[in-house]
Amino acid sequence: MSAEILLVEDNPSDVSLVHEAFRVINGSARINVASDGEEAVAYLRREGTYGDAPRPDIILLDLNMPKMNGHQVLAHIKDDEGLKLIPTIMLTTSNTEKDILTSYRLHANCYFVKPVQWEEFVDVIKSINDFWLNAVRLPTRRT
């Protein structure tokens, strides 16, 4: 299924991994990248160079980023009437109970810890794709 995905990730290696995994799993998915929290907010608000940015079907959000961390971005998304319906999936290296609990308290839709092994990483991306882009019915994409 064709999908617009906003990946909020500051690590270029992880960006490459997500691109490659989606290429294998769902070649029609379009991955748009914001490399920090402030850029993600600008993208979602369609500010500046993001005036024509497509509304994402899902957001993949890292926690540990410069300028604005993932929890701050998540709080912004879930406090905004125009954005809060976009499924926001935490995809991070943090496995701490505190980060998991904070993410769910801020209304993350789910929380994945990034696996280290390629095959396991692809399995996580496949799970995200199969559930969020194939199995569930999302609201119609609004502009």
In Å, the largest CA–CA distance within the chain is 38
Residue 2 and residue 120: Cα distance in Å, rounded?
A: 23
Domain at 3-135, CATH from 3.40.50.300, 3.40.50.2300, 3.20.20.70, 1.10.940.10 = 3.40.50.2300
pLDDT surpasses 70 at 31: yes
Question: What number is the average pLDDT over the span 53-76?
Answer: 96
**Per-residue confidence band for 143, with pLDDT thresholds at 50, 70 and 90:** low
- Tell me the domain boundaries of the chain: 3-135
Total-model pTM: 0.95
CA distance 5 to 19: 11
Q: How many angstroms from the chain centroid is the CA of residue 76?
A: 14
